[in-house]
């Protein structure tokens, strides 16, 4: 008579365990749904638009807003204001030098240094800034650093170069890669971060050099053919990947100037490169 009683007890315990597990699973699923609904209720910051504004706005001579970026920039600026990093009068949807400086202070408050505290929003810092306030979509990620063509670049740049090569019809040789602080002094710090390469034009005719620059621009580089008359350097193509969040401050300025029709040099002359519709790598892939 004891055996059936034990079996009954064991069976009841197993049933209770199953019911408890089911309740726990149901509760966890409900919590997940609740969290998802809460996230869906938050406004969204378009990272692509925000980073675009952070490149262009500091280079403007006026307070024109970057099209499509105002709503996202306002959310970022309000979060910076509430952290006492940005005065309320600068909460205006314009990601100018003051907002850049405030965002850099925020990045430093997270313990970031160097490229990670340049004032250009990155995925991690932007997501942390938005905790409980906004979610982030259209995320930009430069990717890991890799060795390619004898230089160090990131995977986003590598993929962009491969796409440009398909348009150009031949492989590029790099004179200089990215993440090269203290490298060629004529580069003025543009290669200190990611997204920037110098491409050899050895053996190319003038027309071929322009064709190469056009292919690079089509996939999302701010690219110019550089000549010895412009500086202390040989003929080459200088290319900066627009919206690479690892760009050095100097390269950020170049990409902003590119949007504004300038040549990316310190004199800020008119753009002398082939005319194309300006697109980022992400926009190129979506077209």
pLDDT of residue 1: 42
Using CA atoms, how far apart are residues 251 and 253, in angstroms rounded to an integer? 5
Residue 68 tokens, joined: 């499509």
Pairing of strands 135-137, 44-46: parallel
Task: Say how far apart CA 242 and CA 217 lie, in whole Å.
Answer: 9
- The residues spanned by each domain of the chain are 44-137, 145-286
Nearest Cα neighbor of 51 from 269, 251, 190 is 251
Closest CA to 212 of 231, 236, 194, 234: 236
**Contact between residue 244 and residue 122 where contact means Cβ atoms under 8 Å apart:** no
- The answer to whether the beta carbons of residues 195 and 178 sit under 8 Å apart is yes
Q: Which residues of the chain have pLDDT under 70?
A: 1-39
> Tell me: the pLDDT tens digits for 236-255?
999 999 999 999 999 999 99
pLDDT of residue 42: 98
pTM (2 d.p.) = 0.86
Helices 47-56 and 97-109 pack at an angle, to 10 degrees, of: 120
Q: How far is CA 69 from the centre of its chain?
A: 15
Strands 44-46 and 221-226: unpaired
From residue 212, alpha-carbon distances to 90, 103, 113, 167, 186 in Å are 41, 36, 35, 9, 22
Is residue 136 within a helix (H) or strand (E), and if so which, with residue range?
strand 135-137
């Amino acid at each position: 008579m004891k055996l059936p009683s034990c079996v009954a007890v064991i069976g009841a315990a197993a049933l209770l365990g199953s019911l408890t597990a089911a309740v726990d699973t149901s509760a966890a699923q409900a919590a997940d749904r609740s969290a998802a609904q809460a996230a869906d209720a938050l406004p969204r910051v378009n990272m692509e638009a925000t980073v675009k504004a952070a490149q262009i706005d500091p280079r403007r001579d006026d307070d024109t807003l970057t099209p499509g970026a105002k709503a996202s920039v306002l959310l970022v600026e309000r979060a910076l204001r509430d952290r006492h990093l940005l005065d309320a009068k600068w909460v205006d949807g314009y990601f100018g030098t003051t907002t850049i400086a405030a965002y850099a202070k925020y990045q430093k408050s997270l313990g970031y240094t160097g490229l990670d505290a340049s004032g250009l929003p990155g995925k991690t810092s932007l997501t942390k800034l938005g905790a409980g306030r906004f979610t982030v979509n259209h995320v930009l990620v430069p990717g890991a650093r890799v060795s390619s063509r004898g230089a160090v670049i990131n995977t986003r740049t590598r993929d962009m170069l491969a796409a440009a090569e398909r348009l150009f019809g031949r492989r590029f040789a790099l004179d200089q890669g990215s993440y090269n602080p203290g490298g060629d002094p004529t580069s003025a710090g543009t290669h200190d971060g990611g997204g920037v390469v110098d491409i050899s034009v050895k053996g190319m005719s003038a027309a071929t050099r322009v064709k190469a620059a056009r292919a690079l621009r089509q996939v999302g580089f701010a690219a110019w053919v550089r000549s010895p008359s412009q500086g202390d350097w040989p003929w080459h193509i200088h290319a900066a990947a627009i919206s690479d969040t690892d760009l050095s401050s100097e390269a950020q300025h170049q990409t902003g100037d590119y949007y504004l029709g300038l040549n990316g040099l310190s004199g800020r002359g008119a753009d002398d490169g082939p005319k194309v519709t300006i697109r980022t790598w992400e926009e190129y892939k979506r077209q």
